[in-house]
Amino acid sequence: EVVLTQSPGTLSLSPGERATLSCRASQSVIGDFLAWYQQKPGQAPRLLIFGTSTRATGIPDRFSGTGSGTDFTLSISRLEPEDFAVYYCHHTTFGQGTKVEIK
């Protein structure tokens, strides 16, 4: 089983800043088949990125995914107020999540 470890646990930033979220896999991810989800309080998760770098329908281009092998990154170029949420990476299992909070 591939274990995904996300860091940091919490990221405190201001609107307009850049966010960089890390997801590290315990072994190489087959085919770079990695996805990212955003979850706001009381809501279901929403697919942001699949296949490491492909944005899902309707996702703004300030969200980008990169990486390969065991190291993957979700970047948010300029944080908007609606981007403060918890983010999960996922392959066959989910990472534990990174909370992006307002500083």
Partner 1 sequence: QVQLQESGPGLVKPSETLSLTCTVSGASVNSGSHYWSWIRQPPGKGLEWIGDIYYTGSTNYNPSLKSRITMSINTSKNQFSLNLSSVTAADTAVYYCARTVLYYDSRGYYSGAQYFQIWGQGTLVTVSS
3-state secondary structure 32-77: HCCEEEEECCCCCCEEEEECCCEECCCCCCCEEEEEECCEEEEEEC
Are the C-beta atoms of residues 46 and 39 closer than 8 Å to each other?
yes
For residue 19, what is the enclosing H or E element? strand 19-25
Note whether 64 binds partner 1 by CB under 8 A: no
Note whether 3 binds partner 1 by CB under 8 A: no
Q: Based on CB atoms, which residue is closest to partner 1, 9 or 16? A: 9
Q: Based on CB atoms, which residue is closest to partner 1, 6 or 84? A: 6
Note whether 92 binds partner 1 by CB under 8 A: yes
- Residue ranges binding partner 1 (CB under 8 A): 29-31, 33, 35, 37, 43-47, 50-51, 56, 88, 90-97
